[in-house]
Amino acid sequence: MAEVAEDPINLSKRQLPRANCTLPVAYEIVEWDDFNLSDLQLPQWTTCKDISAIGIGFSTQLHISPLARYDLDRGIKKMRLAINLPAGSKPILAFARLVWGCNDKTRNSGLHFMELPAAHFHRLGDFVGRLIDPR
């Protein structure tokens, strides 16, 4: 794919299209071997800045302690998310690993979804597609 000067959907470096949006997201840090995708127990809240079917970006500082950041970096812990799509639909529950950010140098961070159920993958893909091309 040829690189374009302006890339409104952030596709030039991505595996899948990513759309800019602001959605409320609840998150909590859990053990790596936690596979329970039920409701979050004691979540923190933030908003995302962009999303795709395989990842999510934040421009606000996530409330993560230095020890939790260390555990996230080393794969000892992961994050459980509840992504609230518009129109009152059920939140998308997902596990994610921290890919970058969330440190002293930047407020921004990026997470990659893990073991995302197919139904959630398709819901996110459809949602992103509608944001990119609302026809």
Is 121 a member of any domain?
Answer: yes
- Which helix (H) or strand (E) segment is 132 a member of? helix 118-132
Average pLDDT, the chain: 82
pTM of the predicted model, to two decimals?
Answer: 0.80
Looking at the domain assignment, is residue 3 inside a domain? Answer: no
Distance CA 53, CA 73 (A): 22
Which range (23-37, 69-83, 91-105) has the least confidence? 91-105
Counted domains in the chain: 1
CATH number, domain of 36, equals: 2.40.10.220
For 5-46, how does the pLDDT look when each residue is reduced to its tens digit (9 = 90+)?
Answer: 344 444 445 577 788 889 999 999 999 998 888 878 889 999
pLDDT by residue (tens digit) across 112-123? Answer: 999 888 998 999
* Beta partners for residue 81, in sequence order: 27, 94
